[in-house]
Amino acid sequence: MEQRRNEAVCESTIGELRRPIKPERAQAAIPANALKSPGLLLATASATCALISLDTNIVAVSLPSIARAFHAGFADVEWVVSAYMVSFASCLLPMGGLADRYGRRRMLVLGLVVFALASLGCGLAPGVAVLNVSRAFKGVGAAMLLTAALAVIAHAFPGPRERARAWAIWGMTMGIATTIAPLVGGVITQWVGWRWIFLLNLPVCGFLAACARRVVPESRNPHAQRVDFAGSVLFGVGLACGIWALIGTQSAGWHGAATVARFGACVLLIAGFVVVEKRLAHAVIDLSLFSQARFVAAVLGMFGYAACAQVMMTFLPLYLQNAFEWSPVAAGVGMLPFALSMIAGPYLGARIARRFRGATSTLSIGLGLVGIGNLATAALAPAGHYAWVALGMIVTGLGAGVLNGDTQKAIMACVPAHRTGMASGISTTTRFTAIVSSVGVLGAVLAARTRGALDATAACAHAVSACVDASFMSDLLAGDLAHALARVAPEGRAAMAGAAPASFASGFAAALAVAGVLAVAVALAVWLLSGRRAEA
């Protein structure tokens, strides 16, 4: 099952396939036995994708350390994740088309250069603003790398047997990277310093670029379709405005003029994106696909998976460090129940698929497990007992593993073979859009509930209540408790030091409850859409 999913994922990088391409017109694939070093080619492309996965999931553990280094607020810390995700999600589809048009190896090497330079900017950033701008450029480089690397594998291994083996190795590499990312991030952050999370990318990128130039042959599609830059820009800027509005609610409020203006710009830009996609023959998304109930159910499944399960890779390290006051290494180890259960999840998904014989049924059950796990963790988080929280994490991880094995496959099964590039592009873009949107929404819930819990404490109700302002809350949520406590009068500091972690745990529980309810709601929607398709 995982093997078939990996094969489907690769198609997202063969370009923005809008029409069938006659076999005799497309550039012929290179037989695996004709490659000088097929093993090295596969290792280079797989390691490049693993670098992206590692970088995507490694940063969350370092967020409190970054906040303390720059005395950055919670909104700034959210942008460390969101700037990367927004640019990544916005650039995936156009980069695939550019790789087909101008050369996949060229795009791979250029992507490594961009990724390395952006990593250097992150590692040397003098402040959080430079860090976040560098993270945005890093997302562009990551989109170039992912699309080019997967296209290289798909082009180099055309035969069913060698392609299946290649994607199995690729999938194993990605799974290992995702599993070890929190622990690696914790070790580097605590023992070397958070800046080396980014700086260590430089020699890795240099080595991979040298390997790519040596073992990856150039390939392109001479009849690739024109890239839809207008649609990509409208979507990317609209998404950024929406995330800006969500993150900005912590200072501007939900009804503030700035929030309303940002949400308004988001709506207008996304509406413009829809208009452009309807008019262009080479649009990045064929909106007519959304008239199919099965396709909508599959996309909803991907959205729910990313928004309610994958987003925990960002929030769980914050919770473990802020609520338990754990070190980065301890937080990385504390993430293992979630990560390891994700590995076991696909095997559970295979058994569910055999039992119920329907992709949407598997999606519904997986989302249900995510919802139950999140709700259980939300109920147990305020108590402050890690063992019970870990049980909830395991349930959520199992559900995430089930979905990780089937969401992509369900989307790909809804479209004809010549549209798989675009469909998989929609899938991947949905994944990262859901993550970044969920970071904004759940972050706002976390901030509001933490403030409410802190206001309700006896300590906050008396002498220190005046000290709990927006700056205090921003530092607390970002993980810089020491800087937040410096604003509190000495006589109330001890009481606040105990109340603040408990209040954060309460806020985290509220955010998880929202994610749990959303997962259950999406599971029900997917189930109903499946029934509607059956009746039709």
Question: Do residues 114 and 142 touch, judged by C-beta distance below 8 A?
Answer: no
What is each CA distance from 84 to 131, 325, 351, 520, 536, in whole angstroms? Answer: 10, 27, 36, 28, 41
Number of C-alpha atoms within 13 angstroms, CB side, residue 486? Answer: 8
pLDDT at 512: 93
pLDDT at 509: 93
Selected from 1.10.3720.10, 3.40.309.10, 1.20.1250.20, 3.30.1050.10, the CATH number assigned to the domain covering 289-536 reads 1.20.1250.20
pLDDT at 283: 65
Asked if 1-226 and 289-536 have one fold, the answer is: yes
Which tokens sit at 464? 């220190």
Burial class of 503 by CB neighbour count within 10 A (0 to 12, 13 to 18, 19+): buried
Burial class of 25 by CB neighbour count within 10 A (0 to 12, 13 to 18, 19+): exposed
User: What is the rounded CA–CA span in Å between residue 481 and residue 68?
Assistant: 8
Domain ranges of the chain: 1-226, 229-279, 289-536
369: number of Cβ within 10 Å: 25
User: What is the rounded CA–CA span in Å between residue 180 and residue 340?
Assistant: 10
Q: How far is CA 310 from the centre of its chain?
A: 7
pLDDT at 421: 59
User: What is the rounded CA–CA span in Å between residue 111 and residue 137?
Assistant: 11
**Contacts of 494 by beta carbon, 8 Å cutoff, 6+ apart:** none
User: What is the rounded CA–CA span in Å between residue 112 and residue 128?
Assistant: 23
Which residue in the block uniquely carries the two structure tokens 């994610």?
A: 515
The 10s digit of each residue's pLDDT in 132-146 is: 999 999 999 999 998
Q: What type of residue is 131?
A: L
- Tell me which residues of the chain have a pLDDT lower than 70: 1-36, 221-225, 281-284, 357-359, 405, 412, 416-424, 458-467, 469, 491-492, 531-536
User: What is the rounded CA–CA span in Å between residue 378 and residue 517?
Assistant: 11
Question: Do residues 247 and 443 touch, judged by C-beta distance below 8 A?
Answer: yes
Question: Do residues 277 and 231 touch, judged by C-beta distance below 8 A?
Answer: yes
The 10s digit of each residue's pLDDT in 291-310 is: 888 888 888 998 999 999 98
* pTM for the full predicted model: 0.81
Which tokens sit at 184? 């690696």
pLDDT at 57: 84
Which tokens sit at 476? 């607390």
CATH says 1-226 is which class? mainly alpha
